[in-house]
Structure 1
Amino acid sequence: MLTLKKFFQNTFLFFNLLAIAGLLMSYLSAKISPAVWWVPAFFGLAFPYFLLVNLLFMVLWVFSKTRFAILSFLAIAMGYGHLNHYIQLSGRETTEEGLVISSYNVKNFYGEVDTKEDNVANEILKYLQSKEADLICLQEVTTSGQRRFTQQKSKLSHDSGLKFVHASKTGGPVSYSRYPIIAKDEVHFENSANMILISDLLIDQDTIRLFNCHLESYRFTDAEIRSLDSLSFDKQEESLRKVRYTGSKLKQAFIKRTEQAEALHQLVQDSPYAVIVCGDFNDTPVSYTYSKAAQGLEDAFVNSGSGIGNTYVGKLPSFRIDYILHSPVFESYNFKVDRVVFSDHYPISCTLKKKIQ
């Protein structure tokens, strides 16, 4: 006869196995294109939660059935390489001069809660000037008819001695450089307002290709986010409709970003120069988007960051979605996520130095 203790133990094990399955599925999200099979992408988005649940199960089993603790331990060990994309215990710093890079999604200078106040742009300007960066990559900058941006770009260029290049028509990414900009191009994605801004820079005697990227977002409005917060078991039909709608938006964004990340990877592969890739990928490190975009490149946070690398202030997608990647000819130092709340993203920065051959 099944004892009560055995029943709870089996139930506990069942939910542990579900958590393990979820964690393993999240690993697949970095390997399988959502255009081929989109289901793992949802699990990849929840990787940190599956990880924490498995850690909890592992600890709890230690006090009852120790041999079962190895199940979650093995599942976590299989994806150990993903952990350092979310958290770093010690950074790599230097006081020597190098190429200082800053990347920031400024949300059209509207502030975290769409205040549309000019002082938000002024605060961002002060912040950028304080960084004394050699390269600045901004995302979500509306250029057409945007008085706020027109004022700030001229101030930033004049006060900091930076040259700038921006998208020709639609707005979007804007790049500033302390070094000569010798060529410019832009890649617009089909059926999307997102794009990649490309700049060739003459830095000392070397030409460097800079990619300033803003990949497909989920396009959730504040009202839709609040609607998800109000899900209720008392209104199951309405809640189910909201969940389906949210899932549909996520799926569409996963698939669009797949195409964009593959296009970015091909552009990097085709570059005759060493590259720096900055921007808002709108996806977490355990994703096909990140694994494809970062293929063959170094991640500045992984190599020189410290602490938790989350860059998004909002709820979805949470965690780390903004990146600075670079060719292996560089070494990164002093990676920082500055917790200033002038946007729904945190700005990131690092220092690059060319490796001594």
Structure 2
Amino acid sequence: MRRSFAFKCTLLVIAWLLIAIACVQIPARTFWPASFGALTLPVALGLNLVAVVYWLLRNWRVAALPALVAFLTWPHFQRGLALHPAQLAPMRAAPEPTNQTVRLLSANVRIFNVYAQLREKDPESPTKFIQWLAESSADVLCLQEFYNEPVGSRTGEGRLFRSVDKIGKQAGRQVFLSKTLTNGAGAEFGMAIFSRFPIVGRGTISFDRLTQNHAMYADLRLPSGDTIRVYNFHLQSMSMDEKDIVDSYSSKAGLKKKGLGLMRRFKRGMVARSVQVDTLIQRFEQCRYPMLLCADLNDLPYSYSYDQLADRFQNAWATVGNGVGATYNGALPFVRIDNQFASPQWQVEEFKVNYEIPYSDHFPTSATYQLRPAPPAQ
């Protein structure tokens, strides 16, 4: 009787797992409840592994079923918890750079904490962050929620926020600044791509209207003569306060007070991101160059937007990382919303989340890519 019940539970877990995977592939604009079903996928994956262990101890023949499911769904497991022990080898040599190597850094810089309340914990954080980016060895920097004060700006901060000059020209990089707002004092908000490789093409992709949630790209000429395209994009924000989220699950009263409003905002964000990522996929499919993508997705690895990208590109963390790879610098644990992706022409050599740089609510990510040799012409 106990084995019969355990077997039924195993079948239910497998059914749950398959339904959750199906939910991941349904855009929220079509059927938004599927997005909530998709968020249960890591639980179903974990329970299926528990079933594998249980049946190995009880009946190895039955264990073959959840083991086969675990094998077939392993790429989904890797999306949330990457396992690559070889990358942890202490004597692992760093790859030698070539004229087809690209070192890429991505960061949501939270407007460099320009407002006083953002730098209460560390008043020097803007200076430290800008200096760290300027001195970075990365060939290409993709920055979201960018902020710059050009010459003639009347904010009274002097040279502190001359970020385009400090990260760009003074550091030997060209810059493409995609501005979404210039305020009355002359300060500029938007996103930016900095490159030590020549920028030979550029463009901006808006989602209905140009806001901080948009995309930009730059075509770069490598020393090898190859042209590549780097996309930098920021999908729809949650517009959810971290304190409200923590309060909602800390007590029943908090859930009743905050839960419904949070769910509405979460739903609106999911619907918007599903539209935005489909817009980007159409543009990606038209690109003839090898692509590297840097993104603040504002979405988890078990979401439609992540799934659409992971189906077409290599996720750098899932390819060579270890662990969860959380990128959110806040009270919510294990949240990875910042990602880098690479088209199949690239070999992902290294990927790192820079936890030593705590100056924003996002940790920067950095990676090294090697362009694979082009296949011989037929």
Same fold at TM > 0.5: yes
Question: 1:65 Cα deviation (Å)?
Answer: 6.8
Partner of 2:296: 280
Question: 1:28 Cα deviation (Å)?
Answer: 1.5
Preserved CA contact (<8 Å) 2:141 2:195: yes
Give runs of aligned pairs for residues 12-31 of structure 1, distance below 5 A: 19-31=13-25
CA distance in 1 between partners of 2:22 and 2:330 (Å): 25
For the structure 1 residues 129 and 306, does the alpha-carbon distance in structure 2 shift closer, same or farther, using more than 3 Å as the test? farther
CA distance in 2 between partners of 1:39 and 1:95 (Å): 47
3-state secondary structure, aligned to 2:231: strand
Give runs of aligned pairs for residues 118-197 of structure 1, distance below 5 A: 118-143=123-148, 150-170=161-181, 171-190=189-208, 193-197=212-216
Question: 1:295 Cα deviation (Å)?
Answer: 4.3
3-state secondary structure, aligned to 2:268: helix
For the structure 1 residues 203 and 321, does the alpha-carbon distance in structure 2 shift closer, same or farther, using more than 3 Å as the test? same
Which of 250, 256, 272 is the matching residue for 1:256?
Answer: 272
CA distance in 1 between partners of 2:230 and 2:127 (Å): 26
Question: 1:356 Cα deviation (Å)?
Answer: 2.0
Preserved CA contact (<8 Å) 2:348 2:370: yes
3-state secondary structure, aligned to 1:286: coil
| Deviates most, 271-280 or 239-248 | 239-248
Preserved CA contact (<8 Å) 1:185 1:197: yes
Structure 2: gaps (5+ residues): 182-188
Which of 325, 328, 344 is the matching residue for 1:309?
Answer: 325
Q: Once the two structures are superposed, what CA deviation does each residue of 1:206-225 show, in whole Å capped at 9, x if it has no partner?
A: 33222101111212113312
Preserved CA contact (<8 Å) 1:199 1:209: yes
CA distance in 2 between partners of 1:231 and 1:9 (Å): 37
Partner of 1:330: 346
Preserved CA contact (<8 Å) 2:354 2:364: yes
1:39 paired with 2:33, answer yes
3-state secondary structure, aligned to 2:306: helix
Root-mean-square deviation over aligned CA pairs: 3.2
Question: 1:327 Cα deviation (Å)?
Answer: 2.6
Q: How many residues align?
A: 346
Question: 1:248 Cα deviation (Å)?
Answer: 2.0
One-letter code aligned to 1:24: L
Q: Once the two structures are superposed, what CA deviation does each residue of 1:116-145 show, in whole Å capped at 9, x if it has no partner?
A: 555212222343345311100111224477
Question: 1:159 Cα deviation (Å)?
Answer: 4.0
1:245 paired with 2:261, answer yes
Which of 318, 337, 354 is the matching residue for 1:321?
Answer: 337
One-letter code aligned to 1:115: R
For the structure 1 residues 64 and 203, does the alpha-carbon distance in structure 2 shift closer, same or farther, using more than 3 Å as the test? closer
Q: Please give the TM-score of this superposition, normalised by the length of structure 2.
A: 0.79
3-state secondary structure, aligned to 1:260: helix
* % identical aligned pairs: 27
Q: Once the two structures are superposed, what CA deviation does each residue of 1:2-57 show, in whole Å capped at 9, x if it has no partner?
A: xxxx5x87776676555444432331133222222223322333433332233334
CA distance in 2 between partners of 1:142 and 1:167 (Å): 11
Partner of 2:184: none
1:207 paired with 2:227, answer yes
Question: 1:269 Cα deviation (Å)?
Answer: 1.4
Partner of 1:87: 82
One-letter code aligned to 1:207: T
Question: 1:350 Cα deviation (Å)?
Answer: 1.4
3-state secondary structure, aligned to 1:131: coil
Q: Please give the TM-score of this superposition, normalised by the length of structure 1.
A: 0.83
3-state secondary structure, aligned to 1:201: strand
| Deviates most, 46-55 or 171-180 | 46-55
CA distance in 2 between partners of 1:142 and 1:149 (Å): 11
One-letter code aligned to 2:126: A
Question: 1:60 Cα deviation (Å)?
Answer: 4.1
Question: 1:317 Cα deviation (Å)?
Answer: 8.6
